[in-house]
A and B are shown apart, each in its own frame.
Chain A
Amino acid sequence: MADTVNKTLDPRLNRRGFLKGCTMAAAALGLSESVVPKMVEAATSAERPTVIWLHFQECTGCSETLLRGTHPDLARLILDIISLDYHETVMAAAGHQAEEALHDSVEKNAGKFILVVEGGIPTAENGIHCMIAGKTALEILEEIAPKAAAIIAYGTCATFGGVQAASPNPTGSVGVDKLVHDKPIINISGCPPNPVNLLGTILHFLTFNRLPAVDGLKRPKFAYGRRIHDHCERRAHFDEGRFVEQFGDEFHKLGYCLYKVGCKGPETFANCPVARFNEAGVWPVSVGHGCIGCTEPDFWDTMTPFYDRIPNVKIPGAGIIADADELGTKVLAATGAAIGIHAAVGVGKRLIKGKSDSDE
């Protein structure tokens, strides 16, 4: 089985070129070069590189995507490509045995393993909203992250806090990069993300011996480089002004653009329309529902209401949440009314005073 690994590691890359790649990746991520030798070691060793997967505040939807992955599929991934030393949902051991497996692997592979984080990290009340083996998620991250070679934050929870961070964020949940600042972090957002994006990132690392290029939100460009809208099959309908007005209407049945029923494709970066999901050749727009922007930070607040284009306006203090355009129209109307009153007062005054300014 170790063969696959050797094949996967591209022998064409010589050590100098490879080191350069790592240094560039490290520099791009604002890291000291000290991590580079470790990254090299991890990627070129004959052993399957160790992956440690931590679950915090999450729904396991992100882990579930691994079951749906096809290139590679889960069996090949964990038997041939990586050594998944800790993953609470799939590992055989429990309790003390699980804890031991984690700590053995972290010690043995210190500085070399890839840490995958799934889920947000609650920070309110010292993090007591998520505990594993008596420790808070915060403590666990603080303990394990410094020993990793690189961190992959997988899913919108781990990248941006996710659903539990939606207003009013009752547990103070945040993503990994709010807490860890001195490690390369790749954000693979999505709720859940397409597994091809995780597998692609891992294989990019193992094949080219460097982390993929990322955008300003640390998301790999091969997967999050462009807006959904730019690759959407319904884009022609958008440009030609053909829109679904309501689910089930005649336009919906013709496959028109979902913009008016709330599609957030124009403001969402992801490869959904290109990579598609579950080997079924589909993605949300294929089944007549708009994109809800699940790869974007704070999408639970900024993309809602999901069936409108623009978020509601939260009026601070008043606790009122109002539709932006309704509010705008009201303010405009109130302004018009105020102008009317102001003008009326002026006219009234003039009528009373008579033609007082005629002397000029």
Chain B
Amino acid sequence: MAYQKKHCWSILLRLYHWAFALSIIALCITGFYIHEPWTNTLREGSASWPMAWMRFAHFIAGYVFTAAVIARIFLYIFGNKQERIMDHLPVTPRNIKNIFSTLLLYSYIKEGHDPDRLGHNLLAGMTYVITIIAAVFQLISGFYLLFPELAIWEGYGLAIFGSQQWARYIHHLLMWWFMIFALIHIYLVVWNDVQEPEGLVSSIFTGKKFTH
């Protein structure tokens, strides 16, 4: 069987992916520092502002993250076939079938990807949708924490989270979701690439996948 090179991910999706991935790494590190600053300025007047810098970096990364999330939501509606949300939800028989075949694949019972799927498998797709939903909450809580006095953020923040502390708590717990997600995600991406060398890892750089 000959490999075919197929276009799968638009440039915008790939840009979004890396903006998202890198901002999350930055946000987790800076966020954790904000939560529990592990440095202590032992020498006063050392002209270092670790907390101020970490927060600044967090907010910059937060804007990148927000832009990425907006791009992703755009693609859910206006992206290519693989990128649209309908391809990620268990709403067609084809998609539902894929859940089972993926489960069989992951439990080493069956081998090989569904030949008719170019985009994410359904388990991955659904997890990404959940992650984007989590990201929306994360950014609303983030902006509520950042601008609590602004009527718009106060309004959304109060309506969704109640107090600042609730927002911060949810914000903090969601951080753990992103870390756990990243761990599983990177493993499965590599695992899938090993299982069936369709060039999965490089697809998120090049936008191309190989199928047969």
Interface residues, chain A, CB within 8 Å of chain B?
215-217, 225-227, 238-243, 245, 251, 254, 259-260, 264, 266-269, 293, 296-299, 302-303, 309-311, 313, 324-325, 327-328, 331-332, 335-336, 339, 342-343, 345-346, 349, 360
Contacts and interface: CB of A to CB of B under 8 A. Distances in A.
B180 A241 contact: no
26 contacts: A215-B154, A216-B154, A216-B155, A225-B149, A227-B148, A227-B164, A239-B52, A241-B39, A241-B48, A241-B49, A242-B44, A260-B37, A267-B163, A302-B169, A303-B165, A309-B36, A310-B168, A310-B172, A311-B165, A325-B35, A328-B175, A335-B180, A339-B187, A342-B191, A346-B194, A360-B197
Contact of B183 (A216, A332, A345): A332
Contacts of B184: 335, 339
Given A311-B169, A324-B173, A241 B40 contact: yes
Interface in B41-82: 41, 44, 48-52
A328 B32 CA distance: 12
B19 interface: no
A302 B165 contact: yes
Interface string B8-39: 00000000000000000000000000011101
Closest 9 pairs (CB-CB, A-B): A241-B50, A328-B176, A267-B164, A239-B52, A216-B158, A267-B165, A302-B165, A241-B41, A241-B51
B166 interface: yes
A297 B163 contact: yes
B51 A240 contact: yes
Interface in B127-158: 145, 148-149, 154-155, 158
A173 to B, nearest CB: 17
B169 A310 contact: yes
Interface residues of B, number: 43
Contacts of A324: 169, 172-173, 176
Given A332-B179, A335-B180, A336-B183, A299 B165 contact: yes
Nearest to A297: B163
Nearest to B40: A243
A296 B41 contact: no
B1 interface: yes
A296 B183 contact: no
Nearest to A237: B41
B165 A260 contact: no
A322 to B, nearest CB: 12
Interface of B: 1, 35-37, 39-41, 44, 48-52, 106, 108, 145, 148-149, 154-155, 158, 162-169, 172-173, 175-176, 179-180, 183-184, 187, 191, 194-195, 197, 212
Given A310-B35, A325-B35, A332-B176, 19 more contacts: A239-B52, A240-B44, A240-B50, A241-B37, A241-B39, A241-B41, A241-B49, A251-B40, A268-B165, A269-B148, A269-B164, A297-B163, A298-B166, A299-B163, A324-B176, A331-B180, A335-B184, A342-B187, A360-B1
A296 B169 CA distance: 14
A343 B163 CA distance: 43
Contacts of B163: 267, 296-299, 302
Contacts of A325: 35-36
Contacts of A346: 108, 191, 194-195
Nearest to A302: B165
B51 A245 contact: no
Nearest to B42: A242
A299 B44 CA distance: 34
A45 to B, nearest CB: 35
A251 B44 CA distance: 11
B187 A343 contact: yes
A327 B7 CA distance: 41
Which of A215, A225, A267, A335: most chain B Cβ within 10 A? Answer: A267
A266 B184 CA distance: 33
Contacts of A297: 162-163
A177 B172 CA distance: 30
